[in-house]
Structure 1
Amino acid sequence: MKKDDANAERYIAIARACLKAINDTAAEAGSREEKIQAVYQAIDDAFQAEFADYRQSVAVMGTVLERIASGQLDAETAASLARKTLDQQPENTRNALIH
């Protein structure tokens, strides 16, 4: 992955969480299955944290699309609402690929 990739920081944060979980579980007592589950949980937690902005942005856009799709807004109002919604979108969700 290139350092200037928009998702590089996300990948690094997720990778660090995974490595930390692996290191933490290696020294702990417990079954192999418990250790694997702890690593899976760390991966899930890291993904949830890294994509929280995306989920919030998608929820807002869904609400706006529902209002536009209702047909109760004239074209100018619908276009204005769409522009305002796009302008309020978090910077890290704009034009970035999600892998």
Structure 2
Amino acid sequence: MKKDDANADRYIAIARACLKAINDTADDSGSREDKIQAVYQAIDDAFQAEFADYRQSVTVMGTVLEKIASGQLDAETSASLARKTLDQQPASTRNAMIH
């Protein structure tokens, strides 16, 4: 992955969480299955944290689209609501591929 990739920081954060989980479980006396589960949980936690802004943005945009699609708003109000929603979109989700 290129360092200027918009998602490089996300991948790095997830990779660090994985490596930390592996290192943390290396010296544990727990079962192999417990260690594997700890790594899976670390991956899931890191992934959820990295994409929280994106999921929230998608939820807000979906709500706005539903309001516009209801047909209860005139064209000018619909366009204004759409612009305001796009302006509030987190920078981490703007014009960037997420995978």
TM over 0.5: yes
Q: Find the counterpart in structure 1 of residue 95 from structure 2.
A: 95
What pairs with 1:56-95 in structure 2 (closer than 5 Å)? Answer: 56-95=56-95
Q: Percent identity?
A: 89
Q: Report whether the alignment pairs 1:27 with 2:17.
A: no
Provide the TM-score with structure 1 as the length reference: 0.98
User: Per-residue deviation at 1:98?
Assistant: 1.1
Q: Find the counterpart in structure 2 of residue 7 from structure 1.
A: 7
Structure-2 separation of matches of 1:58 and 1:44: 19
Provide the TM-score with structure 2 as the length reference: 0.98
The runs of 4+ residues in structure 1 deviating greater than 2 Å are: none
Amino acid at match of 1:10: R
- Which structure 2 segments of 5+ residues have no match? none
Structure-2 separation of matches of 1:89 and 1:72: 24
* SS of residue matched to 2:97: coil
